[in-house]
Structure 1
């Protein structure tokens, strides 16, 4: 029964994450073919992922099924590696090698930085939660 709850949570949160990604991509216009929306979504997702797996379940006493749904479903569908790959290939195909290199650098190192920042922020929130 617990496994079914996880699947349902991943599915439902996945709808929310995918829908949010789609709306953001509709609103962000990428001049010069540079994938600003994908980069921004992935960076924000890396930051939020750290908070969703560390702070939120502790703060709100979430079940494992809900926590899995939020991390794998919501963030997993919001940030997709396939979109990153597709955008990178498009830049190469259109001979935008400089943008391709910038995109790779910003995605890889920016994601690591945002994940680290999210972890630090989450730890700070947890310390404040313990003080309360």
Structure 2
């Protein structure tokens, strides 16, 4: 039960953080393209890489804290469902090229950010 509560608490905080970051990015960048979703997914991927490597190399955290941070917080902070909705919305607005660009940009940047998080953490800690 402690594990479920840890995930739920992390998820609640991650969802609120996602809303705040996404809203701020959209306010700054404008609402014509889903930059808020790109930002949270790329940032969340970087943080996932950094946290996983940090926990592997230095932090001895229990299962509940690991689940709170990764499954809970970062799972709720990043969003595949909003990414999918943004893609379909662009596509249905006759912006097919933008939709494909959005999908490619999101996947490439998010995976690259996870690799970067791993690499930066390794560089700093080894």
Deviation at residue 66 of structure 1 after TM alignment: 0.5
Distance in 2 between residues matched to 1:124 and 1:63, nearest whole Å = 24
Aligned length: 124
- Runs in 1 of length 4+ with deviation above 4 angstroms? none
Q: TM-score, normalised by structure 2?
A: 0.89
Q: Cα deviation per residue 1:64-123 (whole Å; 9 max; x = unaligned)?
A: 110111001010000011010000000001111121121011111111111111111121
Paired residue for 2:21, among 6, 20, 24?
24
Deviates more, 1:20-29 or 1:96-105: 20-29
Who wins on radius of gyration, i.e. which is larger?
1
Which stretches in structure 2 are left out of the alignment for 5+ residues? none
Instruction: Tell me the C-alpha RMSD between the 2 structures.
Output: 1.6
Aligned to 1:117: 116
Aligned to 1:82: 81
Which stretches in structure 1 are left out of the alignment for 5+ residues? 128-132
Given the superposition, is the C-alpha separation of residues 123 and 81 from structure 1 closer, same or farther in structure 2, using an over 3 Å criterion? same
Match status 1:50 vs 2:38? no
**SS in structure 2 at match of 1:33:** coil
Deviates more, 1:118-127 or 1:13-22: 118-127
Q: Is the 8 A contact 1:57 1:63 kept in 2?
A: no
